[in-house]
């Protein structure tokens, strides 16, 4: 049984995570895809192609991506190379304290350039990416022409 995991499953947006896929056949070609939908409904995604190692595992921190959104060893590549489905959109988190970005990670058999109904989904999971840690207080700043926010630790 194929399994994809993100460790830790819930983390701050600037904290590195480890993505691992287990249960593949040795040397199996797979596509890892990360996707999220922002607060305005825009979808962002990144994909990378990998060959599983002798144990049937893929770890973007140890194994080089063969292509896709990036190539080479990039432990956080699936998160860093997220691109919008619509041109000229930017990934911006507006509600930084209220909710995380939910990043869905999926593993497909073979090369999947454009995911369709014929593609075989092997496994999936979700990761939470928070922008404000627990207990942090947000204080709005309005002084003259200065606007901003002060984030105070617990």
Task: Report the predicted TM-score, pTM, of the whole model to 2 decimal places.
Answer: 0.89
- CA–CA separation, 28 and 129 (whole Å): 29
Q: Report d(CA 53, CA 30) in Å as an integer.
A: 11
What CA–CA distance (Å, rounded) separates 92 from 99? Answer: 13
Q: Are 19 and 11 in contact (CB under 8 A)?
A: no
**Which tens digits make up the pLDDT trace of 6-36?**
999 999 999 999 999 999 999 999 999 999 9
Work out the average pLDDT over 108-132: 89
- Give pLDDT tens digits for 35-88: 999 999 999 999 999 999 999 999 999 999 999 999 999 999 999 999 999 999
User: In residues, how long is the chain?
Assistant: 154
pLDDT at site 113: 84
pLDDT score of 117 more than 90: no
Q: How far apart are CA 96 and CA 66, in angstroms?
A: 34
Q: Which tokens belong to 67?
A: 């292509």
Class (C level, CATH) for 3-152: mainly beta
Domain ranges in the chain? Answer: 3-152
**pLDDT at res. 124:** 97
């Amino acid at each position: 049984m194929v399994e994809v995991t993100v460790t830790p499953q819930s983390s701050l947006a600037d904290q590195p995570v480890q993505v691992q896929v287990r249960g593949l056949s040795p040397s199996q070609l797979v596509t890892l895809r990360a996707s999220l939908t922002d607060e305005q409904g825009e979808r962002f995604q990144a994909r990378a192609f990998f060959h599983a190692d002798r144990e049937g595992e893929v770890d973007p921190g140890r194994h080089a991506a063969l292509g896709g959104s990036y190539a080479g060893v990039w432990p956080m590549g699936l998160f860093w190379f997220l691109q919008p489905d619509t041109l000229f959109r930017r990934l911006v988190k507006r509600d930084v304290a209220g909710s995380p970005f939910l990043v869905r990670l999926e593993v497909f058999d073979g090369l999947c350039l454009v995911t369709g109904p014929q593609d075989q989904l092997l496994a999936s999971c979700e990761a939470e990416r928070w922008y404000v840690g627990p207990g942090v207080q947000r204080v709005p700043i309005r002084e003259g022409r200065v606007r901003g926010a002060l984030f105070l630790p617990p």
